[in-house]
Structure 1
Amino acid sequence: MKILIVDDEPLVRIGIKSSINWQEYGMIIVGEAADGEEAIRLMIERKPDIVFLDIKMPKKDGIQVLQEIKERGINSKVIILSSFDDLQTVKHAMKLGAADYFHKPSMNELEISNVLSRIKDEIAYEQKIQENTYESNSKEGILRNLLLGNSVNVKQTKLKENNLYILLFKVKKYESVLQRYPADNPGFLQKTVMNLLGELFSKEKEVEFLQIEDNVFSIFCSNSEIRSNQLSFTSVFERAQLVNHTLARFLNIETAFGISGKIDKFIHIGKAFAQAKQAFGQAFYQPEDSIFYYQKIEDGNVLEQVDEYIIQLKKELREENYNMFLQTLTTLEQFLHSKKGLGERDVRKIYEGLLFMIEETEDYLGYSDHLKGIETFGELSSFYHELFQQKFAIRATLRSQRYSPIIKNILYYLESNYHRPISLNSLSEEFNVSSNYISRLFKKEVEKGLFTYINELRIEKAKSLLKDYRYKIYEIAELVGFKSQVHFAIVFNKYVGTSPKDFRKERM
């Protein structure tokens, strides 16, 4: 798989090249370009599979390059590189066919590798479609091809070309639900869901279904014999309700559905699929509801307003005006919730970017485990508000106390790295001073030993996590930096006067 990097900043190109082991992913960098014209020439000449493309460049910018790619029929997958407060342009790029985007300031190895793995799978799948090597005679193959606009062998399904709808659904609180099922039998939940769908729709004349991802299922419905749009939509809604109630009754799980608009031709299935995804995404903002319908959203003004909020948030961080930052963030969140114009991925990237600016290091990546089970806008907002307030409280404390610069930096470092192994030697290497000097100075200024401070910090973090039953106690021990649950329990009891288990019971 061939990679082309396009950015007018040499340091960005160097950073991308050195970010991951390309050979490990079966990829090779085939060229670099510093402007849009050179980028087009290299795409034609070297035919890269994936292009990292900067938005703002000389000669031709990223948008102009994307437009030319489309006109010339170049098949490269494009990943946009943008600044943090350029969401409007990014979304324009996505509409022109970009596969994903990165905020340049906060790009990291984990994010790049995850996106590359996904795009690599997409390319392999599309190649199978083009080469007609996918099992296009199987029901699953026919339906998957249909979502990509390929209606070969569709007559082997129950679907007809009239009053067609796509429904997508997912299991709510998915990570928690998975805990109920045996770990040694992966896919058990999904197989059970598919079996129930099979029983529900076995006698339906014009319904098919498909598992698209681990937690995304699709139902294809047509109503060729119904002439009324209202009756057709009612039948689709009733099917969604049927699935929703059946899964709640037999599996004790909640679901969220997205229903597309009506189409009449198979060639428009891809459009209906996109509509269902957009509707389905509203569950992020309204977790109390179960069924959502496609509605066209004009997002131009929304994106422009979001960019203005982000510029203001950056300004308040630079000026260390943390109270105003939190107020502006709350206003932005209220705006997003009222307009619902941004998808979950974009909202998550906004929070990640803000955290990166606060952390100013890649330590902001250490919260991925905490975020795994968060599915809704409200949960995400609460998590980040609490985290930001913790960060700002520490900064305020450090400002009010007259610590030396090196101790301030060590305290910042400990706050971001408490979950990692920390020793005097590692701090000595990090800050380029002797371990003995750190030990003496820390005790003198903070008035407690370094490892007493670290243990207190870890226990405070653990007390917060113990309020969340999604985490087992041994997992919390690891998350806050203890090598074993036994050691964690001993230290916790020493500082809190009770065991982690009893502490959790008392707080619930």
Structure 2
Amino acid sequence: MTNIGIKALIVDDEVHIRRGIGASVPWRELEVTEVYEAEDGAGAIALYDEHAPDLVLLDINMPGINGLDVARHIRQRSSVSRIVFLTGYDDFPLVKEAVTLEATDYLLKPVSYEELLEALNRAIRQAAESRRRTGYVDDLKRQLTMSIQPSRLLEAPGGSGSNLLAKELYLLGELRAGREQLERLGALDEWLDELTGLPVPQARMIASQFVLNASRSCIEKGHELEEAQTFVSALSACEAHPAIEACVRDFFALLSEVQQMAKKKPGLNAIEQAQAWIRAHMGEDISLQSLAAALHLNPYYVSRLFKQETGETYGEFTTRIRFEKARELLSGSELKMHEIAAAVGYPDANYFSIAFKKQEGVSPTDYRKRFR
């Protein structure tokens, strides 16, 4: 495993459990570089907001703000942080809520050391994959935060700054509206004429800022634009106006392609693809990130679109069809219990039995007896 610098947060109101986990787990071997501890929900939320840990080991039953409240807070801010629930209660509403909140694992106290390490390893692998897939979006956001705001154009020499700013805002507005082929409208030519009238360093800076702003518009629409970083790097190396202009035109050509592809994937069609993909992969460890990657869409966009088009989250849909398939296999096949569990995405047959009983009111074994 490469050095990914994972951050972890342990949340438990029982100090001996919290300290015991912190001291016994080989964090360095797991490539966890920072480990935080919280004794209650309020402290957990404060630490999460401050450090944005990749992995949260979270006790559910705590006084005041409980673990589920903390998990909801986390999910409002991130779909990629991995949550491992730790609880002393085998209670169906808790299991169901844990699934809805996209928990990586649901561990019952007392948990064995091996089971804990296995859960942490699984969560860390998922966190690393999520970081790899979404890292470029975070990089863009950081650059946008650090970059100079559009008002810097007003300081352009010769009094042309306001015209340049107006043309830039017009171009961005057209892009957000989804209009293509702006080159044909002459808007891009006019903006480039103003831009190339500035000194090269300033033109280079403004062009880079434009690429980042335009990329942000794509991200907000749910369309990832990984090449944005490449264009920013290319612009930083430009030493003359023709090179800057060529780079900007290439970027516009890419934006046009992205918009055209997006129009070929209407929302309902994307959800149909999502549902088909989930059904085909229900025996695997499905995550929002893996689903979004299969659709070539932004995870946040997929999450919003799924709820909007179907009335349920992707997690609720996944859980529902898994249990539908489980009932089908229990009633119409001779597969063993661990084989059925694996077929519907539960590598642990015991966990599958707990979840099935809470969902259906009977154990998988008793359910199967009805059809014998």
TM-score bin (small chain): 0.3 to 0.5
What TM-score comes out, normalization by structure 1 length? 0.33
Q: Quick check: which one's helix share is greater?
A: 2
